[in-house]
Amino acid sequence: MIDITQQEEMFIAIGNILPRKIEAYAIGGTALMLMSVKNSTLDVDLVFDKIEDRLEFYNALKRLGAKESDVTLVYGLKSNTPLMLEFNNCRFDMFMNKIVSSYLSDSMKERSMQIHEFGKLIIKAADPNDVLIMKSVTSREKDIDDIISIVNKSQVNWDVIVNESEEQVRLGNETAILGLGEKLEKLGSRKIIAVPKDVLDKLWKLLSKRAKKNDKLKAKR
């Protein structure tokens, strides 16, 4: 577990020893901390566009004393798992464009408008709407808590939520709409967060449309 100050200190230390400027996108709790939505996180989640940038970041962490961590203990045998290192009681997960089942789509990158510079390390924080979508496909209790914080502390754009969910499915993230719809409906029915009814209607309509399309594809085989 690290807090905002510790996260910033680590990013500065990494940025100071990088040989050149590199860019990464912060997702999950890391992004929420950069946007002051939450105060601490268990792990630092970063997504890279370029393999060489991820390697430079990885090597910088190793130079600072980071230790190898077994990715299968966290992600099992899933595909699209990150490089993983432990540093100062914090786990660094370093992904390449796809985060297990979720994609860092072009539209998500465009919405990552909050930029932080730590020496040669440039970090773009994912938009809260997109963090919510990515967290909806997991079953961890802490991700439910983060979804609640995002809705209660941020100005959620429900049009972005619906449109990006559809884009995720188009890219191959089949669980995006189902996971998001189930969690929003559950939290909304318990009055924990306020979710517009038309948002859920749109999500279930998209899910039904996708199911029919999959059925047609199966019938042709």
Last-in-domain residue among 74, 91, 125: 125
26 and 115 assigned to the same domain:
yes
Cα–Cα distances in Å, from 121 out to 14, 42, 81, 199? Answer: 7, 21, 22, 37
Indicate if the pLDDT at residue 121 is higher than 80.
Answer: yes
6 and 88 assigned to the same domain:
yes
Question: Residue 182: inside a domain, yes or no?
Answer: yes
Higher local confidence (pLDDT), 7 or 140: 7
- pTM (predicted TM-score): 0.92
- Give me the chain's average pLDDT, please: 92
86 and 188 assigned to the same domain:
no
Domain total for the chain? Answer: 2
CATH number of the CATH domain containing 41: 3.30.460
148 and 102 assigned to the same domain:
no
62 and 107 assigned to the same domain:
yes
End-to-end CA distance of the chain: 49
Indicate if the pLDDT at residue 151 is higher than 80.
Answer: yes
84 and 110 assigned to the same domain:
yes
Q: Are 25 and 13 in contact (CB under 8 A)?
A: no
Query: Which amino acid does the sequence have at 62?
Result: K
Indicate if the pLDDT at residue 168 is higher than 70.
Answer: yes
Question: Residue 142: inside a domain, yes or no?
Answer: yes
89 and 162 assigned to the same domain:
no
Indicate if the pLDDT at residue 170 is higher than 70.
Answer: yes
Q: Please report the pLDDT score of residue 155 as a whole number.
A: 82
Q: Which domain holds residue 36?
A: 1-125
103 and 185 assigned to the same domain:
no
Q: Please report the pLDDT score of residue 221 as a whole number.
A: 67
Q: Please report the pLDDT score of residue 217 as a whole number.
A: 67
47 and 110 assigned to the same domain:
yes
Query: Which amino acid does the sequence have at 187?
Result: L
Environment class of residue 120 by beta-carbon count within 10 Å: exposed (0-12), middle (13-18) or buried (19+)? middle
142 and 77 assigned to the same domain:
no
CA distance 135 to 190: 19
Question: Residue 173: inside a domain, yes or no?
Answer: yes
82 and 163 assigned to the same domain:
no
25 and 67 assigned to the same domain:
yes
Query: Which amino acid does the sequence have at 208?
Result: S
User: Sign of the C-alpha dihedral, residues 109, 105, 29, 44?
Assistant: negative
Band of pLDDT at residue 74, cut at 50, 70 and 90 = confident
Both structure tokens of 110:
């465009």
Question: Residue 132: inside a domain, yes or no?
Answer: no
Q: What is the mean pLDDT of residues 179-193?
A: 94
Band of pLDDT at residue 134, cut at 50, 70 and 90 = very high
**pLDDT tens for residues 22-64?**
999 999 999 999 998 899 998 999 999 999 999 999 999 999 9
Question: Residue 29: inside a domain, yes or no?
Answer: yes
Q: Please report the pLDDT score of residue 29 as a whole number.
A: 93
